[in-house]
Amino acid sequence: MQLDNNILNEKVAYVDESVTEFNEITERVIKEQSADLDDLMQAIHYAVTQENAISTDAVERYYAELSSLVYFMSERIEKLNVFKDVSKATAKEAYNKAYIKFCAEKDERGKSIRTVNENTALAETDAQYETVMQSIYGNAYDAVKLKLDLALEMLSTLKHILKRRMNEEYMDFQMANVKPNIAGDKE
């Protein structure tokens, strides 16, 4: 079997172009719902990757900001879930209407003019844009949900840092206030 490289290159270019368009739309939907979370996570990333340790005040501020933002992100996730569900229903409805339309076309004897597979292929083609929208909102939902899950993980990390620092400060305070017991001293 010999494949024509020119045809393959054309197919690859077509898929690349389609993926680029799909990704641009999906990324736009994702950014609309998560830009402020992305900005905050980027700021946290920058703060924790510096040579000097992040200050406790900064950890506290990021913890509070991220906690607040997570609350509002849950509403956005729910909104995207609704878009995902509606786009799924719209795609199914478009497919079903097209399938029924194509199945209704009969010849003079009352028989379908196409096979089931032909009707299915035509209905899928008619519903392709609705199906793409279903994929866009499904992917956007998954991406924003993952970002929210990772933000919750970061919250847990910041909480552990705060707990450890509080314990260290407490131990330092305790050690500074301990009176040494010198041999021979009577209490």
The residue among 156, 165, 182, 186 whose CA lies nearest residue 62 is 156
Give 106's DSSP letter: B
How much of the chain, in percent, has pLDDT values that exceed 90?
A: 83
Q: What is the pTM of this model?
A: 0.81
Token output for 57: 């005040």
Q: What's the average model confidence in pLDDT over 11-15? A: 94
Token output for 119: 């009707």
Within 8 A by CB and 6+ apart from 120, the residues are 99
Predicted local distance difference test score (pLDDT) of residue 85 = 97
pLDDT digits (tens, 9 = 90+) for 126-180: 999 999 999 999 999 999 999 999 999 999 999 999 999 888 887 877 788 776 6
Predicted local distance difference test score (pLDDT) of residue 169 = 82
Token output for 70: 């997570």
The count of other CB atoms within 10 Å of the CB of residue 123 is 20
